[in-house]
Amino acid sequence: MENSHAANSAAEPGTDIDQLAHEMTAQFRQVLSTKRMNELASQASRSRSSSPALGGPAPAFATTPYSPAPEGVSPPSYSSLRNIPLVPEAPRDARSIQFRSMLHALSNTPMQWENPGLLDEALRTVPLDRIYNEAEEESQIFQAEAASLGQGKLPRWGYQDCVIRALMRWFKHGFFHWVNNPPCSQCTSPTIAVGMAPPEPDERARGATQVELYQCSHCRGLERFPRYSDAFVLLQTRRGRVGEWVTCFSMLCRAVGSRVRWVWNAEDFLWTEVYSDHRKRWIHVDVCEEKWDKPLLYAEGWQKKQSYIIAFSADGATDVTRRYVRDAMKHGLPRTRAPEAVLLFIMNEIRTLRRANMTKQEKFRLEGEDKREDKELRGFIIQNIVSGVTKISTEALANGWTPGTRMDPDAQKAAEGRTNSSEQVLSREGGRSSPSQHNPDQDRR
């Protein structure tokens, strides 16, 4: 009865996730407590029945001396302890140490955007009047929309959120340029990739980590394409691919006053997160795709499998994989670069390093944000579990479906044919469509 009550609670629409989790936890603890008390009562009854009479011979266990376990015998494994909270563990093996060094190096990227003088210089390239006017107009639209829904309704987005949205539109359509194969600088003809080359001294001085070589299809001249990682150099070149786009745009978001995260994906993706004071959470922003608050774009939109997604900011680092990969079985990849306890240690290490010189008030505020975000990320997992449970139909269970298996489409159609007329089956099949989705994964390099 308790299990059926829990299932019914999970199936109700609009059920609060936290309340549902609390109720299920309480019911589970009650079941364990009842089972344990029954076991203790059973043991006590057996002990009383096997106890010797008063004055009788002492039981054998009373005179048996204690002997320690033989050396080399490992203690029993307690499977019930597998789900306890992770305890941070320092990396020990070579693979984990290498992963730690890489994450520490990546965490330095957003620190380059904390120079007030350089940020002021960057603002000179932005048409602030245009950005602020568009943001004001959009903000008023959101306010009018909220007012039309009734008293006490808040706008979907605040003014600062609208500033970033306007900045994203200007950046994509009027400032930065996407480059696959750069045109020939001599005759503007198309070029063909021919390999890589080491950066020249002036290119290295401006932060180029590698240089791609292209040959003109007309004059046969060579065209160099340095891959710069310095956001302030990119303000001058104004061209590149995902890395250049995200780095430059994230710096401009910081310049207009927003708190910014530079999000790294182990599968060669990058994007931005901006903190919304209005919504009290971090917002996904992909300037290359001009997407705002669409965290499931990659997993469910592109069907992209992902392993590690780490967000770096001036305040630290956070593993935000759960925000972008809700169904790890379907859209996740194995996380084998380091144990989860080691990854938690690295995240805490970077966070402590970035907040070392902050005041107690700043640390307290950020800790509160960390707790809210952790609750948000855990909510995604609970929501996915509840969604999966509520999608299980009685027909599927009757046909032998078990968790972890996928219904055979042919078998499902056969079952429909047994319970419905052929006309209904034909009408249902005629109304189905499977639109194909373009996967721009190959373009985001």
Residue 49's pLDDT is 55
Which has the closest alpha carbon to 123: 255, 236, 274? 255
What is the Cα 92 distance to its own chain's centre? 26
pLDDT at 432 over 50: no
User: Which residues are within 8 A (CB) of 416 and not within 5 positions of it... i.e. 6 or more apart?
Assistant: 425, 428
User: For residue 421, which phi and psi values (nearest 5 degrees)?
Assistant: -75, 160
Q: Is the pLDDT of residue 11 over 90?
A: no
36 or 257: which leads in pLDDT: 257
Mean pLDDT value of segment 128-144: 97
Tokens of 19: 């309340």
Q: Tell me if 398 is assigned to some domain.
A: no
Q: How many residues does the chain have?
A: 445
Assigned domain for 174 exists: yes
Any residues with CB less than 8 A from the CB of 443 and at least 6 apart, and which? 180
Nearest-angstrom CA–CA distance, 155 and 139:
8
Instruction: Please tell me the predicted confidence (pLDDT) of residue 445.
Output: 53
- Domain assignment of residue 327, yes or no: yes
pLDDT-wise least confident of 18-22, 220-224, 438-442 = 438-442
List, in sequence order, the alpha helices (H) in 277-325.
321-324
| pLDDT, average across residues 24-38 | 79
Q: Are residues 165 and 197 in the same domain?
A: no
CB atoms within 10 A of CB 225: 21
The parent domain of residue 209 ranges over 180-229
Is residue 64 included in any domain, yes or no? no
Share of the chain above pLDDT 70, in %: 75
Of 20-29, 284-293, 354-363, the poorest mean pLDDT is in 20-29
Nearest-5° Cα angle at 107, 106 to 111 = 120
Segment among 96-100, 257-261, 418-422 with least mean pLDDT: 418-422
Most confident of 364-378, 385-399, 415-429: 364-378
Locate all alpha helices (DSSP H) within 51-127, ordered by sequence.
60-63, 94-106, 116-123
Residue 64 has pLDDT above 70, yes or no: no
Q: Are residues 184 and 319 in the same domain?
A: no
Task: Give the range among 26-30, 102-106, 164-168, 248-252 with minimum mean pLDDT.
Answer: 26-30
* Domain shared by 205 and 288, yes or no: no
Domain tally for the chain?
Answer: 2
Whether 50 shows a pLDDT value over 90: the answer reads: no
Return the exposure string of 57-73: e unless at least 16 CB atoms fall within 10 Å of the residue's CB, then b: eeeeeeeeeeeeeeeee
Considering only residues 85 and 145, tell me which one the structure prediction assigns the higher pLDDT. Answer: 145
Query: Of 323, 345, 380, which residue is a domain's last?
Result: 380
Long-range contact set of residues 415-421: C-beta below 8 Å, sequence gap at least 24: none
440/370: higher pLDDT: 370
How many helical (H) and strand (E) elements, i.e. helices and strands, does the chain have?
A: 17, 11
Q: What average pLDDT does this structure show over 117-131?
A: 94
Q: Quickly tell me which residue has 């302890």 as its tokens.
A: 81
3-class SS string, 350-399: HHHHHCCCCCHHHHHHHHHHHHHHHHHHHHHHHHHHHHHHHCCCHHHHHC
For residue 335, being part of any structural domain is answered with yes
- Which tokens is 380 given? 């995604």
The pLDDT value given to residue 127? 97
Which of 314, 307, 324 is closest to 261 using CA atoms? 314
Please, what is the average pLDDT of the chain? 82
pTM assigned to the model: 0.72
Whether residues 163 and 184 fall in one domain: no
Question: For 165, phi and psi rounded to 5 degrees?
Answer: -65, -40
Tokens standing for 231?
A: 């956001």
The pLDDT, as a whole number, for residue 420 is 44
Shared domain check, 295 and 174:
yes
Residues 221 and 140 occupy one common structural domain: no
- In this model, does residue 258 exceed pLDDT 60? yes
pLDDT at 41: 73
pLDDT at 24 over 60: yes
In a domain, 211, yes or no: yes
3-state secondary structure of 177: strand
Nearest-angstrom CA–CA distance, 102 and 118: 26
- The whole-number pLDDT of residue 47 equals 58
Cβ atoms 331, 306 nearer than 8 A: yes
pLDDT at 436: 39
Instruction: Write down the pLDDT at residue 364.
Output: 96
Quick check: 206 pLDDT over 50? yes
Reply yes or no on whether the pLDDT at 434 is more than 50: no
Choice among 223-237, 263-277, 298-312, 410-424 with the minimum mean pLDDT: 410-424
Q: Is the same domain home to 188 and 175?
A: no
* Region label for 304, one of left (φ > 0), alpha (ψ between -120 and 50) or beta (otherwise): beta
Residues 291 and 327 in one domain: yes
- Asked if 380 and 326 touch (Cβ cutoff 8 Å), the reply is yes
Q: Which residue type, as a one-letter code, is found at position 187?
A: C
Both structure tokens of 2? 């308790």
Higher pLDDT, 36 or 99: 99
For residues 208 and 279, state if they share a domain: no
Residue 431 in domain: no
What amino acid is encoded at 325 in this protein?
V
Q: Choose the final residue of a domain: 330, 348, 380.
A: 380
Question: How many CB atoms are closer than 10 A to CB 244?
Answer: 24
Do residues 293 and 174 share a domain? yes
Residue at which a domain ends, from 229, 262, 294: 229
Alpha helices, DSSP H, located in 149-241: 159-170, 201-205, 231-237
Q: Is residue 2 scored above 50 in pLDDT?
A: no
CATH number for the domain spanning 308: value is 3.10.620.30
Residues 225 and 278 in one domain: no
Lowest model confidence (mean pLDDT) among 48-52, 131-135, 414-418, 431-435: 431-435
Beta strands in 13-133 (DSSP E): none
Cα–Cα dist 229/46, whole Å: 73
Q: How many CB atoms lie within 10 A of CB 242?
A: 20
Q: What is the mean pLDDT of residues 35-52?
A: 66
297/354 same-domain check: yes
Q: State how far Cα 253 lies from the chain centre.
A: 21
CATH number of the domain that residue 193 is part of: 2.20.25.10
54 in a domain, yes or no? no
